């Protein structure tokens, strides 16, 4: 039977957070609630963990996965912020936006593609508490098989993956609009995936550039 723990998004139980943190430390996969959808979390500093994640998701290695960070300042550990991405981070993070920025040296596939890296600074208290209890960063990829529709209930995700996932954190149905993915590596930002932050909001934020 899959291991499922009910968690309150607004006031996460410390015992459950510590359990999830230990699973991640041991190289396991945890289904975690974000402010938009459920995600599949594994530590990014272990290639075997990432390989297992990609096998379970049936995801091609050339499709990168985004990284959860603890703060805007931490983004600079992984990539290079320019005036566009800095403004967007200040305007919308933490929140439902994934920034694609030039990767710093030392990070390769599947965390990067064509020297670009995806960064997610979530407003979810569960994600925040988990990051505070581990010494590494973890992934921010959707809890589904690559190329299929997103699932909103833990029961659906557990039916799909079963015991291949080490721990499921159930925060109830999550069916908010996905994070907006915006590429800030070129001369002008490009929305790669429309989402919770609208293009109009982005234009207003960047209006004086």
Contact 7, 21 (CB under 8 A): no
Give the total number of structural domains in the chain: 1
pLDDT at residue 1 above 80?
no
Mean pLDDT of 81-85: 96
At residue 198, the pLDDT reads: 97
Contact 139, 39 (CB under 8 A): yes
What CATH number corresponds to the domain at position 126? 3.90.870.10
At residue 61, the pLDDT reads: 87
| H runs (alpha helix) in 43-82 | 47-57, 72-78
pLDDT at residue 209 above 80?
no
Helices 14-25 and 125-132: crossing angle in degrees, nearest 10, is: 60
Q: pTM to 2 decimals?
A: 0.95
Instruction: Tell me the residue range of the domain where 167 lies.
Output: 4-205
At residue 207, the pLDDT reads: 86
pLDDT at residue 5 above 70?
yes
């Amino acid at each position: 039977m899959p291991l499922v723990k009910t968690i309150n998004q607004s006031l996460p139980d410390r015992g459950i957070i510590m359990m999830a943190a230990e699973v991640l430390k041991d190289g396991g996969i945890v289904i975690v609630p974000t402010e938009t959808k459920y995600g599949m979390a594994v530590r990014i500093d272990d290639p075997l963990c990432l390989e297992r994640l990609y096998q379970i998701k049936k995801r091609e290695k050339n499709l990168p996965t985004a990284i959860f960070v603890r703060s805007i300042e931490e983004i600079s550990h992984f990539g290079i912020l320019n005036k566009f991405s800095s403004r967007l981070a200040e305007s919308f993070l933490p929140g439902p936006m994934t920034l694609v920025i030039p990767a710093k040296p030392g990070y390769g596939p599947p965390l990067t593609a064509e020297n670009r890296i995806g960064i997610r600074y979530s407003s979810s208290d569960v994600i925040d508490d988990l990051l505070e209890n581990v010494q590494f960063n973890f992934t921010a990829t959707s809890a589904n098989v690559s190329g299929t529709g997103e699932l909103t209930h833990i029961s659906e995700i557990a039916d799909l993956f079963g015991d291949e996932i080490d721990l499921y954190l159930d925060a109830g149905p999550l069916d908010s609009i996905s994070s907006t993915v915006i590429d800030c590596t070129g001369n002008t930002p490009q929305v790669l995936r429309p989402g919770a932050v609208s293009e109009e909001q982005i234009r207003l934020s960047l209006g004086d550039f």
